[in-house]
Structure formats: C-alpha cells, structure tokens
Structure 1
Amino acid sequence: MFSLFLEQLLNGLQSGVMLFLMASGLTLVFGVMGLINLAHGSLYMVGAFACAAVAAWTGSFWLGLVGSLMAAAIAGALVEMIVIRRLYARDHLDQVLATFALILIFSEGTRWLFGSFPLFLSVPDVLSGTVVMPGGFQYPIFRLAIIIAGLTVAIGLFLLIGKTRLGIRIRAGEADRGMIAALGVNIDRLYTIVFALGAALAGLAGAFVGTTQSVQVGMGEPVLILAFVVIVIGGIGSIKGALIGSLLVGFTDTMGRFLLPIGFEAFFDPASATAIGSALASMLIYIVMALVLFLRPSGLFGTEA
C-alpha cells in the first residue's frame, strides 16, 4: 500500500507539472494583457497534433517535440497578430466570444487536416521501460522524464521572468503598459512574444500528454478548465502562484481519486465505494478553489486590487 501511495504521489506531481505548463502561459497572457483567452486549450491541441504528425512523418519523437513547440508558437503569434490584437481595448465579453470562435475554427481545421480519428504517440525507445524507485515499486521512465522536463521548464521560466531583460519588460507591462510604451518599448511586439511563449508552453504540454493518452480534437478544453482553476487558486499573473496552484490541483485530484474510494470501502461495497469516491474526488479541486477564494479572493499569490 505504501508503494502504491508513493506511485500516486509521483502521478500527482506529473499531473501538476503538466498543468503548470498550460497554466503558466495562460496566466502570462491574462496578467500582462488582461485578456481572457478561451482558445488557449486549442493551442495545447495544436502542439499535440503537431508532435504526433511530425513523429509519424519522421519516425522521431524528438523532432515531433520540436515541431509541437514551433507549431504552437507560430499559431499563437499569428492568432495574436490577426485576431487578439484587436481585442485588447474591447470588454471581456467580446474577448470571450472571439476566443470561443477561435476554438471552433481550430477544432474544425484540425478535423479537416487530420480527420476525426485519434492519433497515437509512441514513447521513444530510450525512455521506454520502468525504473525501480526507493519504495521498491516500478515507475515508467517516460513519466519521470516528463516530471524532470516540466520542472526544468518551470525553472527556466522563472529565470526568464526574473533575470532577463525580456522578463523585466513582461513584468513592467503587467504593472503599467502605458508607461513602458512611453519609454519606447514596442508593446505590440512584446505582446506577440508573450502570447507565442504561452502558446509554446501549452503546445509542449500537449505533446507530453499525447504520449499518455490519445491525441484527438477537443482534447484541450478539459485541461483549459483545470488551468483556469489553477490561476484562480494561484492568483492572476503570478508564475509562482501558477506553479503552487498546479501542484495543489494535481495532488488533490490524483490523491483524491486514490484515497477516497479506499476510505468509502469501510461503509459501502467496493463498486459503490469506487463510484462515490470517484465522484467526490472530481469535486475536490473545485472545493479547494472555493475555499481559497473565500479566504483570499485574489488567490494565494495574487495582488489585491
């Protein structure tokens, strides 16, 4: 049982890291641009499909991974320049309607290009198999690689935002867009870079997750909902909040699905305990979100208005 508990902890860590890649880009766009982007999940889907397609054409998962980053970043930059740029001065309802339309466009375009059948990504040979963990259980090497890669990207993102000139401009743009524009910073170019960066992170997450499940049209919307939960918990515009919120949601969801059915077995038969526990587990992250909003409406690391 202890080994199974440790395995689920690692699964929760992997889930949280993947959510961070999705939520960090979303919170950057939301915090810097003040834009509600419902199409962020579509960029996640673009990355997954690009990785699957390039890997199938070339036989290399690594080229597929590069393809996912490039495709999502290019798609994000084009969307920002063609559509999003016209929405900054509009109210949030216009932003919601426009980005919802982008979801439909991306979904139908992807279905037209790849068809309605799911695609599948194979784990590269070098990362296949399992490794024995300290608790004595075997854990897939590829899942460990996803955790390491996700944490590495998180560290790189923190360094980018906190230690580079681009990061200074991003943080300044979040604080006072008018001032940095008056100081000579090309605000349009900055917004395009931020949007493309967020899209690339979402595409990378889609490529990673595509190896553990099928790649299909509409796969980004459920993850987008979780990403919004994450930025509400962590605080809008906070990268640290996105990381803490992602890990909190990942552990809560994974451990809830593992522990609650076991707890209910003392009161119900195994089938009923599993059904009740799974249903309650799916509600846990929203209960956590409501609790955080009740105690701290701006999120754990958000700035008070």
Structure 2
Amino acid sequence: MFSLFLEQLLNGLQSGVMLFLMASGLTLVFGVMGLINLAHGSLYMVGAFACAAVAAWTGSFWLGLVASLMAAALAGALVEMLVIRRLYKRDHLDQVLATFALILIFSEGTRWIFGSFPLFLNVPEALSGTVTIPGGSQYPIFRLAIIVAGLIVAAGLFALIGKTRLGTRIRAGEADREMIAALGINIDRLYTVVFALGAALAGLAGAFVGTTQSVQVGMGEPVLILAFVVIVIGGIGSIKGALIGSLLVGFTDTMGRFLLPIGFEAFFDPASATAIGSALASMLIYIVMALVLFLRPSGLFGTEA
C-alpha cells in the first residue's frame, strides 16, 4: 500500500510539473500583456504533434523534442505578430472571441495536415526501463525524467525572470509598459519574445505528455482549463503562484482519484465506491479553487487590486 501511495505522489508531482509549463506561459502572457489567450492550449497541441511527427520521421525522440520547442515558439511568434498584436487595446471580449477563433483554426489546420487519427510517441530507449521505489513497486524511468526535466526548466525560468536583463524587462513591462516604452525598449519585440517563450513552454509540455497518452486534435483544451485553474489559485501574473498552484492541483487531482474511492469502500460496494469517488475527485480541484478564492480573492500570490 505504501509503494502504491508513493507511486501516486510521483504521478501527482509529474502532473503538477507539466501543468506548470502550461500555466507559467499563460500567466506570463496575461501578466505582461493583459491578454486572455484561449489559444494557449493549441500551442500545447502544436508542440505535441511536432514532436510526434519529427520523432516518427527521424526515429529520434530528442530531435522531436527540439522540434516541439521550435514549432510552438514559431507558431506563438507568428500568432502574436499577425493576430494578437491587434488585440492589446481591445476589451477582453474581443480577445476571447479572437483567440477562440484561433483554436478552431489550429484544430482544423492540424486535422488537415495530420488527419483525424491520433499519433503515438515512443519513449526513448535509454529511458524505457523502470526503477524500484521504496515499497517494491516499479516506476518508469521516463516519468522520473519528465519530473527532473520539468523542475530544471522551472528553475531556468525563475532564473530568467529574476536574474537576466530580459527578465527585468519582462517584470518592468508587467508593472508599467508605458514607462519602459518611453525608455526606448521595443515593446512590440518584447511582447513577441514573451509570447514565443510562453508558447515554447506549452509545446514542451505537449511533447512530454504525448509520451504518456495519444497525440490528437483537441488535446490542449482540457489542459488549458486546468492551467486557468492554476493561475486563479496561484495569482494572476505570479510565476511562483503558477508553480505552487500547479503542484497543488496536480497532487489534489491525482491523490483524490486514488484516495476517495478507497475511502468510500467502507460505505459502498467497490463498484459504487469507485464511481462516487471518481466523480467527487473530478470536482475536487474546483472545490480547492473556490476555497482559495474565498480566503484570498487575488489568489495565493496575486497582488491585491
């Protein structure tokens, strides 16, 4: 039982790290640009399809991983320059409608290029084995590698935002975009870089998750909903909040699906306990979000209005 519990903890950590890659890009875009981007999940899908396609063509998952970053960043930069740039001074309803249209365009474009059938990514041979975790269970090496890689990327993002000149400009743009424009910084270029960075993070998450599930059209929208939950819990515009919120959502969702059915077995037959527990587990993250908003309306690390 202990090994199974530890396995679910690791699954929750993996889920949280992948959510952070999605949510950090989303909160960067909203925090710096004030833009509601519903198409962020489509960039996640672009990364997954690019990785699957290039890995299939070349036989190398690592080349596919590089392709996911490049394809998602390029798609993000083009979207920002051609569409998003015209929405900054528009109200949020226009942003929602325009980015929802982008979801449809990306979905149909992907279906036209790759077809309606899902693609599958093979785990690289070097990471295809398992390791024994405390308690005796076997845990896939690749899932551990995903956790480590995600944490390294998270540390790199914190260093980028907090220790570099680009990070200083991003934080300044979040605080007062008119002032940094007056100081001679090319605000359009900064916005393109931020949008491409957020897109690359989403594409990387898509490539990683594509190894654990099929790569298919529309795969980004469910993850986008969870990413919005994360930034509401963590606080809009806060990278630290995105990390804590992602881990909280990842652990809550995974452990809820594991523990609630077991708890209800004391009151119901196993089939009913599983059904009831699974249903409640799917609502648990939204209950947590509501509780956080009740206690801190701006999120855990958001700035009070």
TM-score band (shorter)?
Answer: over 0.9
8 Å Cα contact 2:41/2:221 also seen in 1: yes
Q: CA deviation at 1:133?
A: 1.6
Q: Whole-Å Cα distance in 2 between the matches of residues 273 and 210 of structure 1?
A: 31
Normalised to the residue count of structure 1, the TM-score between the two structures is: 1.00
Q: Whole-Å Cα distance in 2 between the matches of residues 36 and 257 of structure 1?
A: 30
Q: CA deviation at 1:136?
A: 2.4
Q: Whole-Å Cα distance in 2 between the matches of residues 123 and 146 of structure 1?
A: 11
Q: CA deviation at 1:299?
A: 0.3
Q: Whole-Å Cα distance in 2 between the matches of residues 294 and 189 of structure 1?
A: 38
Q: Whole-Å Cα distance in 1 between the matches of residues 139 and 243 of structure 2?
A: 24
The superposition leaves residues 8-47 of structure 1 with CA deviations (integer Å, 9 ceiling, x where unpaired) of 0000000000000000000000000000000000000000
Q: CA deviation at 1:137?
A: 1.8
Q: How many residues end up aligned between the 2 structures?
A: 305
Q: CA deviation at 1:55?
A: 0.3
Q: State the secondary structure of the residue aligned to 1:38.
A: coil
The superposition leaves residues 41-95 of structure 1 with CA deviations (integer Å, 9 ceiling, x where unpaired) of 0000000000000000100000000000000000000000000000000000000
Q: Whole-Å Cα distance in 1 between the matches of residues 298 and 163 of structure 2?
A: 26
**Unaligned runs of at least 5 residues, structure 2:** none
8 Å Cα contact 2:21/2:205 also seen in 1: yes
Q: State the secondary structure of the residue aligned to 2:218.
A: coil
Say whether 1:72 aligns with 2:75.
Answer: no
Q: CA deviation at 1:172?
A: 0.3
Q: State the secondary structure of the residue aligned to 1:131.
A: strand
Q: CA deviation at 1:134?
A: 2.8
Q: State the secondary structure of the residue aligned to 2:134.
A: coil
Q: CA deviation at 1:129?
A: 1.2
The superposition leaves residues 161-206 of structure 1 with CA deviations (integer Å, 9 ceiling, x where unpaired) of 0000000000000000000000011000000000000000000000
8 Å Cα contact 2:70/2:200 also seen in 1: yes
Q: Whole-Å Cα distance in 2 between the matches of residues 163 and 59 of structure 1?
A: 37
Number of the residue aligned with 1:301: 301
Query: Where has structure 1 moved over 2 Å in runs of 4 or more?
Result: none
Q: CA deviation at 1:106?
A: 0.1
Number of the residue aligned with 1:135: 135
Q: CA deviation at 1:138?
A: 1.1
Q: CA deviation at 1:279?
A: 0.2
The superposition leaves residues 252-291 of structure 1 with CA deviations (integer Å, 9 ceiling, x where unpaired) of 0000000000000000000000000000000000000000
Q: State the secondary structure of the residue aligned to 1:117.
A: coil
Q: Whole-Å Cα distance in 2 between the matches of residues 139 and 118 of structure 1?
A: 26
8 Å Cα contact 2:42/2:218 also seen in 1: yes
Q: Whole-Å Cα distance in 2 between the matches of residues 15 and 295 of structure 1?
A: 25
8 Å Cα contact 2:120/2:214 also seen in 1: yes
Q: CA deviation at 1:223?
A: 0.1
Q: State the secondary structure of the residue aligned to 1:44.
A: helix
Number of the residue aligned with 1:179: 179
Q: Whole-Å Cα distance in 1 between the matches of residues 294 and 181 of structure 2?
A: 36
Q: Whole-Å Cα distance in 2 between the matches of residues 127 and 271 of structure 1?
A: 36
Q: Whole-Å Cα distance in 2 between the matches of residues 88 and 216 of structure 1?
A: 31
Q: Whole-Å Cα distance in 1 between the matches of residues 264 and 142 of structure 2?
A: 32
Q: Whole-Å Cα distance in 2 between the matches of residues 280 and 68 of structure 1?
A: 35
The superposition leaves residues 102-122 of structure 1 with CA deviations (integer Å, 9 ceiling, x where unpaired) of 000000000000000000000
8 Å Cα contact 2:53/2:64 also seen in 1: yes
Q: Whole-Å Cα distance in 2 between the matches of residues 157 and 236 of structure 1?
A: 17
The superposition leaves residues 124-152 of structure 1 with CA deviations (integer Å, 9 ceiling, x where unpaired) of 00000101123322100000000000000
**Unaligned runs of at least 5 residues, structure 1:** none
Q: Whole-Å Cα distance in 2 between the matches of residues 288 and 21 of structure 1?
A: 21
8 Å Cα contact 2:3/2:133 also seen in 1: no
Q: Whole-Å Cα distance in 1 between the matches of residues 8 and 72 of structure 2?
A: 30
Q: State the secondary structure of the residue aligned to 1:289.
A: helix
How high is the sequence identity, in percent, across the aligned residues?
94
Q: How does 1:109-258 map to 2 (within 5 A)?
A: 109-258=109-258
